[in-house]
Amino acid sequence: MATTDPTTILFYDERVLAHEPDTDAAFLPGRLEKHLRQILSGLGVPWKYPEHPGRLTAIMQLLAQQPIPGVTVESGMPATREQLARVHTMSYLDAINALRGTNAWLDVDTTAVSPGSVDAAEVAAGTAVAAVEAVVSGRSRSAFAAVRPPGHHAEPVRARGFCLFNNVAVAAAHAQAALGCERVMIIDWDAHHGNGTQDIFWADPDVLFVDIHRAAPFYPGSGRLEEIGAGLGEGTTVNIPMPAGAGDVAYLKAFRDIIVPAADWFRPDLVLVSAGFDPHWYDLALNVSYEGFGAMTGILQDVAARHCDGRLVFVLEGGYNLDSLSNGVHAVLSVLAGAEPPEPGVCGVREVEEAAAFHRNAFQSPEP
């Protein structure tokens, strides 16, 4: 369907702020508690839960201070059990539902719940669905779901890495089952490998999952080059592990030399992005700049325009430094709303050129 509204829709629902894990809550199962308490006490400093409501309030505050023309804001909705069950088992959904209204740690992978967490996670997944529906229906060419808790580590039967439900997977499966999208492409640029998304679509030939991330042993330790899917889905999982410190030049080369050709081969009906902003250097894992996020967005816009009438949806994943998270999201939304995608240079070169120009006359001998 042709797009009738040129704006980009930012989906944001305050109900996702109700996820506020308590670091003093008991661990599940109980036998792990003593071991984990020893690890945390050995850090020497108080440990705070990094995935907190302030992440989204920082994004919205920056957008209020620096509005982007062409970006409109809409609220989300809770995912239904049917939508969640397309990617998670019924027994897992029952186990998570049983935690509604409680404080607890689920596992050793830093995943915890508070009394409002299950409701928040349902809204996060449902808001990703709402973003996809807006784009596929033609109400908007692109959308961004600013949600939490994140989702790409959540497996069919297990919560991991701050994630309860796999938001982007729920959205992709909904697009296939209910919206007529036969082939869905997911690009995950979070610094951490999206092990859950990979697991869910491991043998699915109709979902192309491409993940660029910091290489193992960086958490969660998966995402090796040789992990390419299995069965009918062999070849539709593409991992691009990066060394620590990789930045704009390496990322854009990966996009142009790997991701674009993969998309041209696959010809998606919809492009989804698991957008984590921890590749920015403020999160100390990689070295991507705000301009790099904008440039990657521009490349994916071109891919979506070429194959699926521009249908492009971003779903927030990680990013824990509030400055780089909010500014990274702002950079992406600016390009989605029509700004020219930047072409980042090598970090520091422009500043060296400015310094050279400033000092140039100081090193010239006076003319006789």
Query: What's the pLDDT score for residue 155?
Result: 97
pLDDT at position 350:
78
pLDDT at res. 31: 44
Torsion over CA: 284, 287, 303, 239 (sign): negative
pLDDT of residue 42: 61
CA dist 146 and 269 (Å) reads: 22
Q: Which regions of the chain are under pLDDT 50?
A: 1-4, 31-32
Report, in angstroms and rounded to the nearest whole number, the Rg of the chain calculated over CA atoms.
Answer: 21
Q: How many other C-beta atoms are found inside a 10 Å radius of the C-beta of residue 230?
A: 12
Superfamily of domain 8-360: Histone deacetylase domain (3.40.800.20)
Q: Which amino acid is at 21?
A: P
What is the model's pLDDT at position 108?
Answer: 62
Catalytic residues, by residue number, are: 153
**What pLDDT is attached to residue 2?**
39
pLDDT tens for 149-208 read: 999 999 999 999 999 999 999 999 999 999 999 999 999 999 999 999 999 999 999 999
pLDDT score, position 4: 43
pLDDT of 39 reads 55
Per-residue model confidence (pLDDT) at position 45: 57
Query: What percentage of the chain reaches a pLDDT higher than 70?
Result: 89
pLDDT at 351: 77
Measuring CA to CA, which residue among 309, 51, 283 is closest to residue 189?
283
Instruction: Report the pLDDT value the prediction gives residue 3, as an integer from 0 to 100.
Output: 42
Kindly report whether the global pTM for this prediction surpasses the value 0.95.
no
Instruction: Name every residue whose Cβ is closer than 8 Å to that of residue 157 and which is 6 or more positions away in sequence.
Output: 88, 89, 91, 92
